[in-house]
Amino acid sequence: MTIKDRFLHFLGMNDDEEYYEEIVEQQPEAATASPQSTKGKSNIVSIHTQKNIRLVLIEPRTFEEVNEISDHLKSHRPIVVNLHRLRRDHAQRIIDFLSGTVYALGGHVQKLGPHIFIFTPANVDVQGSITEILQDDSFQ
């Protein structure tokens, strides 16, 4: 074997039959190994399940608490927010922010009462509704 042949062999440009025989011999081994490795990996299924779902009750006092509330939603926890202690404009900003977060997560928003809302991520389904009582003399 000359230096030129060695150089071409090193670059993979030679036409030796031995070289092609090695490739033919290696391909069946690779073909038998890949179905086994993919078969083992295909049995793994990732399912997002939570055994205990915690309902978080929050009564924010400032708009700055909205990031903490959003973190609970991102952790797949439903949240009940009581906005009684906030000014109307701050409460509206919090509702807008949390509504955007819930929309991005595929969740839902439902009003439970005056100034009380429940924000749920996609893994929580809320059934039923609460009707608002119009000013009724028997409940005053």
Q: What are the chain's domains?
A: 3-40 (no CATH), 56-130 (3.30.110.150)
The residue ranking higher by pLDDT, 57 or 12, is 57
What token pair was written down for 135? 């000013």
Cα–Cα distance measured from residue 80 to residue 74, given in angstroms and rounded to the nearest whole number: 15
Residue 4 identity (one-letter amino acid): K
**Spatial strand order in the sheet of 116-120:** 56-58, 79-82, 116-120, 108-113
Residue 64 identity (one-letter amino acid): E
What token pair was written down for 100? 């955007």
Residue of 131, 124, 113, 116 whose CA lies nearest to 57: 116
Per-residue pLDDT tens digits for 16-53: 545 444 444 444 444 555 555 444 455 666 566 556 78
